[in-house]
Structure formats: structure tokens, C-alpha cells
A = this chain, B = another copy of it.
Amino acid sequence: MRNKLISMREAVAQYTWDGMQYAHGGALPVGTDSIAFGKEMLKQGRKDLNVISNCNTQQTNLMAAAGAIKRMEVGFAGLEVYGFANGLKRAVETGKTILEDYSNGSIPLRLLGGALNWPFVPATINIGSDEEWCCADRPDEYPCETKIPRIKDPYTGKECGAFSVLKPDLAAIHVTMADIYGNAIMLGTEWSRYELSRAAKKVVLQADFIVDTDCMRQYPNLVRIPDVVVDAVVYWPLGAWPQCSTGVYDSDEKEMFAMNAAL
């Protein structure tokens, strides 16, 4: 097994490019996210990004404010109790970022479908509402027949929808701790990071702590991301700041407001 520990600069240089489909993980808008990775992407000038975001976070808020996001698929675009995400909101309102709406439950199912290499995922959610009928990619078509096409359940003859699956070029995932081979423990809700780690073509972990593999062997059931799905590991303490990393640090209230106010 290969030592996958590399620097943040190297990870971004090697695994990201302009115009790529980039996914970040990502436990809800205030939670643990690969914020440091996203900042390094901006430092290295990445642009025209096609972002897969279960929820917006301060990472995508910043990226959108910087004009780096061309298109984004999202379940939720805000910052929970911290309010609207100013950077993203303005990018959408001015037409700089195309925002394709799904919901918090459908993005993870589409990632699961990608992980399983399914042709589509049955949709009992998002149908019957404008998530189905209104398509940001094809905004002039209404109702849009191609965003969540209808299919017939062969067992009952009734209709449901069919979600397209997601296989991002890269997932940058924040984890609480990882070893140098990419075994990783996430404390707190996984949200959709488990599915994301299997759906993405490449996976880079950003870890608050690097621990010995022997630690992983103590509670293998906690290691929900095994090394086999991971390409690189970056050590970056407080990497989710100003958001929280469950069990380690809470969100930085002052910085959360200040950062959003500046975007």
C-alpha cells in the first residue's frame, strides 16, 4: 500500500483543473467540509468549475463569489442559521453561476447511483415540484422532460422519476482523521461523504489529524472510508474552519458572519 500523504499545494495541482466536475464533502452547510482545499483551488486560479454540492458551504460561497463556479448542482444553497450565502446568491442572481436545484435527499441518492454504476436512480422525491419541471441547464423548456424523466414501474404500472447519477471527477472530502494510506474516520454525521467517496473518479482527503494505521485497526467499523477508494491524503488541522468538525471544533460564529458579509 502506497503512502498517499502529499501537500495541499501538490494535491490541488495534481487533481484539479479548470472546467472539471468538482465535488466537496461536505456534512451540511455549517459542518465539516474541505474548506482549505477549496481555498487552495482558488489560490491556484481554478475556474469554470462544475460543482456537485450536496449543500452549499462557505467553500462554495467563496468560490462563487470569486467567480470560479460556472455551474453547480445543489440540494441546499444557504448557510442554515447563518443565513443566505451571499457570494453564491449574487453569482446566481447576476447569471454568473447556473444553479441546478435538487434536494438534500436526492443528491446523495444520485451519488449512490454513481457509486453503484447504475444507469439511473428511481425518484419518488423531487417529482411533482419545480425541481422536476424547471431545469437550470435548459431554462427555456418548461416543464422540462429531460431533467428527471418519468419511467413506469414494471410492477404496478405507476410512474416515478429517474434521476441521473453522479460521478464527479474529484471529491475533496474532509475527515476527522486519516492514516497515510487513506483509511479515514468521520466523526458526526457522514451526510453523503460515504457515497461521495465511492462515486467520485478520484478522492482526496483533507484530515484534521493523521493517525497510525494501528488506530484504524482498533475500531475498523468507524473506518467508513477504506484506503482502496482514496488517491491522496492532505494533513490540514482546522481544515473545516470557520465551519465545524464534529467532536473537534465548533463553527466560528464571528468568522462565519464576517466571511459571509465580505462575500
Spell out A's residues near B (CB within 8 Å): 109, 113, 116-122, 124, 149-156, 158, 160, 162, 164, 185-188, 190, 219, 221-222, 224
B151 touches A154 (CB 8 A): yes
Q: Which residues from chain B contact A149 at a C-beta distance below 8 Å? A: 154-155
Checking B124, B164, B185, B187 against A155 with a beta-carbon cut-off of 8 angstroms, the contacting residue is: B164
A-B contact pairs, 25 of them (CB 8 A): A113-B122, A117-B124, A118-B124, A118-B160, A119-B153, A119-B156, A119-B158, A119-B160, A120-B154, A120-B155, A122-B122, A149-B154, A150-B154, A151-B151, A151-B152, A151-B154, A154-B162, A155-B162, A155-B164, A185-B221, A187-B221, A188-B221, A190-B221, A219-B222, A221-B224
Complex copy number for this chain: 2
Q: Which residues from chain B contact A222 at a C-beta distance below 8 Å? A: 219, 221-222
CA–CA, A150 and B121, complex, Å = 15
CA–CA, A16 and B198, complex, Å = 38
Checking B151, B160, B186 against A221 with a beta-carbon cut-off of 8 angstroms, the contacting residue is: B186
Q: Which residues from chain B contact A117 at a C-beta distance below 8 Å? A: 124
Q: Separation in Å of the A93 CB from the closest CB of chain B?
A: 31
CA–CA, A188 and B220, complex, Å = 8
Q: Which residues from chain B contact A152 at a C-beta distance below 8 Å? A: 151
Q: Which residues from chain B contact A113 at a C-beta distance below 8 Å? A: 122
Q: Which residues from chain B contact A188 at a C-beta distance below 8 Å? A: 221
CA–CA, A164 and B221, complex, Å = 30
Q: Separation in Å of the A150 CB from the closest CB of chain B?
A: 8
Q: Separation in Å of the A151 CB from the closest CB of chain B?
A: 6
Given contacts A149-B154, A151-B151, A219-B222, contact A122 B124 (CB under 8 A): no
CA–CA, A121 and B150, complex, Å = 15
If A119-B122, A120-B154, A150-B154 are given as contacts, then 4 extra A-B residue pairs at C-beta distance below 8 Å, sorted by A number, are: A113-B122, A118-B124, A186-B221, A219-B219
CA–CA, A224 and B156, complex, Å = 32
CA–CA, A179 and B150, complex, Å = 44
Q: Separation in Å of the A39 CB from the closest CB of chain B?
A: 27
Q: Which residues from chain B contact A162 at a C-beta distance below 8 Å? A: 153-155
Q: Which residues from chain B contact A160 at a C-beta distance below 8 Å? A: 118-119
Most B Cβ at <10 Å: residue of A121, A122, A158: A122
Complex: chain B residue closest to A187, CB-CB: B221
Q: Separation in Å of the A24 CB from the closest CB of chain B?
A: 21
